[in-house]
Amino acid sequence: EEGGEGGGGDAAKGGRHAAATRGASAVSAASALPTSLVGGAGAIRSLAVLPAVGAKAGAARVRSAAEKGVRFANVSEDRGAAESGRAGESGSERFATLSPPRLLVGTARCSLWLCSPPRRSNKSAPAAGTSQELVAGHFGDALALAPHPLRDDVWASAGDDKQLLLWRRGPCRTPAQRASLPAGATCLTFSPDGALLAAGLASGAVAILRPGSLDGPPAELGAICRVEEATPVREGRGALCDLKFAPGSGARGGYLACAGHDRVIDLYRVEPVEAASGKPGVALRQVAVCRGHASTVTHIDWSVDGSLLMSNDAAREVLHWQVPSCKQLLAPASATAGVVWASWTCVLGFPAIGIWPDGSDGSDVNAAHQSADGKLLLTADDFGTLKLFHCPCVVEDAPYRAATGHCSHLSCARFLRGDGHCVSSGGSDRTVMLWQLCNAAGEGDSFRSTPRPLARAAWRSNGHGQASAPGPGRGPGRGRRAGGRVRSR
């Protein structure tokens, strides 16, 4: 049932389920999957039984032990009697314990759970099974990514499922923190101090979040980021496509620029306020509006000093704006010649001239991100390919390293702090992948994952993994094969 609780089925269907389980073992409410997760654990879609540990060898031990008067008890039975033993006519009767089988549960919310049978110390106590979430992720299109500005092992993702997930690099396959959003998210950004996380929603609103502490072990099940009240600053004006904090902004103040389908860029001042709960919060106050685009504004970036904004739109225009007046620069070539940009995520502009494949209509590349040292440019495209270029990329059909693994278009790709890793979101495949950059036989940078036998074997079984670099002639797939491997985690 949805969320592991009652509801979601008619009375007749519930009766059939009850009849089917009545003869096996009673199922209590405590045995259901936890509902403290955002939106619940989800409807159960698949089940698999893991046999008892050492089941084959255990059967032989049972037969051998039976001759010696040893009785085997299941762990779900009364442990007190099994451990203390009982005195019989022939002496003390010994007990041994077999590990019980466990259950793997797959849910409609793209999570995998490991459930263990109830364990109780006495028969009068209610039975309560245990459940552990092994794998979790998005159950809707994964659309947005944001790397943490101060940590090289943390990033956030969001999508159509109204979830915001905060991830930490490591062996764990579940989010470190979660949050529920009022609507699906289309873009994300951290403030430069890492204290705030802004999510642009499909409704046009902006949600401001405060991530919890990332030190120590991952948060307990159901722990979430603290969500400020969503600010309906643009609600009803179309979905947001991009938003960025100005350099130096954070919980103590600054600027936030938001752009979207209404063809304008709204500039807001971030002001610290005291929330109704008495805890510190933030509010957005509109300062100015940048008007001049003829189509949807898709990408924006700030200059290092926070005095200029650069924007791209769906009509392939590149415009520049003065801040905070939002006045358009009419001669941007001379005015921006020596400008250093705090980030480069625009798909149009001088460093990104050569990223476009032959025959492109200007919408094939969905995201770009320049490395912190300015030497590499990462792109995500409609063909499910993650590409790595040298930056600036100013020649036609520029050579690149390509990595495949997603089965849908890539909606976003970002370098993590330090440029040693990057992350990509696969849109309709609901997948977020972590990549490691490495040198392939001294031929430049390519992608691979941190060596882990399980991930490596799983990647090989999919048949992917060849890195390619087109020659100087034409686009991808027609060039020479390059050395090195491509692996993802």
pLDDT in tens, 450-484: 433 323 222 222 333 333 333 333 333 333 333 33
pLDDT value at residue 109: 85
CA angle centred on 315, ends 398 and 413, rounded to 5°:
50
pLDDT value at residue 240: 93
β-strands 91-98, 70-74 pairing: parallel
pLDDT value at residue 53: 59
pLDDT level of residue 60 (50, 70, 90 thresholds): low
* Tokens 């690149």, located at residue: 400
pLDDT value at residue 336: 84
Higher pLDDT, 60 or 309: 309
CA gap 329, 319 in Å, rounded: 8
CA gap 377, 379 in Å, rounded: 7
pLDDT level of residue 445 (50, 70, 90 thresholds): low
Higher pLDDT, 170 or 451: 170
Residues whose CB falls within 8 Å of the CB of residue 396, separated by 6 or more in sequence, listed in order:
354
Closest CA relative to residue 400, chosen from 343, 447, 433, 441: 447
pLDDT level of residue 361 (50, 70, 90 thresholds): confident
Predicted TM-score (pTM) of the model is 0.74
pLDDT value at residue 280: 73
pLDDT in tens, 110-132: 888 888 877 655 555 555 677 88
Q: What is the mean pLDDT of the chain?
A: 75
pLDDT level of residue 6 (50, 70, 90 thresholds): very low
- Asked if residue 154 has pLDDT above 80, the reply is yes
SS3 of the chain: the string is CHHHCCCCCCHHHHHHHHHHHHCCCCCCHHHCCCCCCCCCCCCEEEEEEECCCCHHHHHHHHHHHHCCCEEEEECCCCHHHHHHCEEECCEEEEEEEECCCEEEEEECCCCEEEEECCCCCCCCCCCCCEEEEEECCCCCCEEEEEECCCCCCEEEEEECCCEEEEEECCCCCCCCEEEECCCCEEEEEECCCCCCEEEEECCCCEEEEECCCCCCCCCCCCCECEECCCECCCCCCCCEEEEEECCCCECCEEEEEEEECCCEEEEEEEEEEECCCCCEEEEEEEEEEEECCCCCEEEEEEECCCCEEEEEECCCCEEEEECCCCCECCCHHHHCCCCCECCCCCCCCHHHHHHCCCCCCCCCEEEEEECCCCCEEEEEECCCCEEEEECCCCCCCCCEEEECCCCCCCCEEEECCCCCEEEEECECCCCEEEEEEEECCCCCEEEECCCCHHHHHHHHHCCCCEEECCCCCCCCCCCCEEEEECCCC
Higher pLDDT, 198 or 88: 198
Average pLDDT of the segment spanning 251-256: 92
Length of the chain: 489
CA gap 279, 210 in Å, rounded: 12
Which residues in 224-237 are b (16+ Cβ under 10 Å) and which e? bbebbebbebbeeb
- Asked if residue 16 has pLDDT above 80, the reply is no
Q: Are 332 and 320 in contact (CB under 8 A)?
A: yes
- Asked if residue 157 has pLDDT above 90, the reply is yes
* Tokens 């509010």, located at residue: 283
- Asked if residue 140 has pLDDT above 70, the reply is yes
Average pLDDT of the segment spanning 361-376: 93
pLDDT value at residue 98: 57
- Asked if residue 83 has pLDDT above 50, the reply is no
- Asked if residue 246 has pLDDT above 60, the reply is yes
pLDDT value at residue 476: 38
pLDDT value at residue 293: 95
- Asked if residue 334 has pLDDT above 60, the reply is yes
